[in-house]
Amino acid sequence: MNQEIKKVLVLGSGALKIGQAGEFDYSGSQALKALREEGIKSVLVNPNIATIQTSDGIADTVYFLPVNTYFVEKIIEKERPDGILLAFGGQTALNCGTELYTQGILEKYGVKVLGTSVEAIMYTEDRDLFVKKLDEIGMKTPISQAVETMEDAKKAAEEIGFPVMIRSAYALGGLGSGICTNPEEFTALAEQAFSFSKQILVEESLKGWKEIEFEVIRDKNDHCFTVANMENVDPLGIHTGESIVVAPTCSLDQTELDLLIDISKRTIRHLGIVGECNIQYAFNSETDDYRIIEVNARLSRSSALASKATGYPLAFVAAKLALGYGLDEIGEMGTPNSAYVAPQLDYMICKIPRWDLTKFVGVSREIGSSMKSVGEIMSIGKSFEEILQKGLRMIGQGMHGFVGNRDITCEDLDYELSHPSDLRIFAL
């Protein structure tokens, strides 16, 4: 462990909103627990009083202030921390951390970024840098162009050909993203995306491909492995926070799984990530073709799901790795070196989102590449049928399960199946 680190600043996730909720509270709480165990003083910035991490006894000092550069600089000036953790507060904390770095604030006060470097974070967040970096090792990413003006965006869409996918850089919960089938849809969505981000990515649409996720962990000694693999029941085009997710994957054979595991390890090593990351793939089983959709160099909602599904404390271990430990030096619950071994599952888990769209006046029930769900549940069982039935009963909307729900009727079944909504699973 780095003995020079005596006080650490932890950036929380900020206010509760769609796309940013309890999963980041969980990650931050685990990181603070790891710091306390090492005798390191912790300073937390989080304006949300309704969280576990802001409770008494979790952090040594708590500032109920917005997570932005203005307030965080004032806190750094007062507290003089030795290091800062960026990966435990979701996209809000990551964006704030990169701004602090690029503005020279961290260097000015001698604050060290612990864990994954800001350069590596920017490789994953800036879509243009991301594609170029993965091209260096021959990894497949969607055919795309990063643009910063409306004129360049329209030109990119014409060159790639419709349908195209729009993604915003440095965006939360898929904000400003979507699939466009014609120039009119493209213009409307691109204008919306530019209101959220100064850079957008125009890329080929892979709608209908399988969406697979891997949680990967790596230490300073280059030991890395996949903690969990997950499959979205909904195909690509539906945000992972909107999709029913199953772990482990159900439809990939061992050869396909080994291919994606190898790609995951090569990717995290090339990007230089130390700690935990989430890698999302588009996969076509008919051709064994793949695309790396994105890499999150931080704890995500999928990380919280993987931790609870496998029992492997990803956030806790990632915090220890950021302090300079190797995986072989970290034990949990009295078991030495337990973090060095990948967990094995003899059961299945299912995550089902919960929507409350009836509470939002005028909101479309259709789901897509931006998040609308306000919560989620996790069910555990021995088979896919069991976990799906348990999950549908648990979402708190009075469902009996997959069938037998008299209150739900579909007037146009074909439309429900082709236009995904919060009720599509029942249309099936």
Bridge partners, 366 (sequence order) = 421
Q: 192-227 pLDDT, tens per residue?
A: 888 878 888 888 888 778 999 999 999 999 999 999
Is 214 found in the same domain as 340? yes
Is 200 found in the same domain as 163? yes
Is 409 found in the same domain as 363? yes
Q: Residue 273: what residue type?
A: I
222 within domain boundaries: yes
Domain tally for the chain? 4
Tell which residue, 218, 236, 330, has the closest CA to residue 274. 218
pLDDT at 205: 83
Cis peptide before 235 (omega within 30 of 0): no
Is 193 found in the same domain as 179? yes
Tell the residue number behind the tokens 């890698």, with chain if given.
279
Task: Identify the residue with better confidence: 157 or 25.
Answer: 157
**179: containing domain:** 143-204
Residues in contact with 147: Cβ distance below 8 Å, sequence separation at least 6, in sequence order: 153, 155, 156, 199, 200, 201, 202
Q: Residue 181: what residue type?
A: T
CATH of the domain at 60: 3.40.50.20
126 within domain boundaries: no
CATH of the domain at 147: 3.30.1490.20
pLDDT at 199: 84
Is 77 found in the same domain as 28? yes
104 within domain boundaries: yes
Measured CA to CA, the distance from residue 354 to residue 243 in angstroms comes to 10
Pairing of strands 200-204, 224-232: unpaired
Task: List the alpha helices (DSSP H) in 44-89.
Answer: 69-79
Tell which residue, 419, 298, 423, 252, has the closest CA to residue 10. 298
- Average pLDDT on 112-118 reads 92
pTM, to two decimals: 0.83
Q: 271-299 pLDDT, tens per residue?
A: 999 999 999 999 998 888 999 988 988 88
Is 26 found in the same domain as 101? yes
Q: 364-420 pLDDT, tens per residue?
A: 777 776 777 778 889 999 999 999 989 888 887 667 777 666 666 666 677 777 777
pLDDT at 334: 45
Is 331 found in the same domain as 227? yes
Residues in contact with 75: Cβ distance below 8 Å, sequence separation at least 6, in sequence order: 9, 43, 45, 63, 65
Is 321 found in the same domain as 420? no
Asked whether residue 125 carries a pLDDT value surpassing 50, the answer given is yes
Asked whether residue 38 carries a pLDDT value surpassing 60, the answer given is yes
Instruction: Find the range with the poorest average confidence among 41-45, 132-136, 187-191, 366-370.
Output: 366-370
106 within domain boundaries: yes
Task: Give 333's pLDDT tier (boundaries 50, 70, 90).
Answer: very low
Is 16 found in the same domain as 103? yes
pLDDT at 264: 95
159 within domain boundaries: yes
Q: 258-268 pLDDT, tens per residue?
A: 999 999 999 99
226 within domain boundaries: yes
CATH of the domain at 272: 3.30.470.20
Other beta carbons within 10 angstroms of residue 66's beta carbon come to 16
Is 234 found in the same domain as 182? no
120 within domain boundaries: no
Name the average pLDDT for the chain: 85
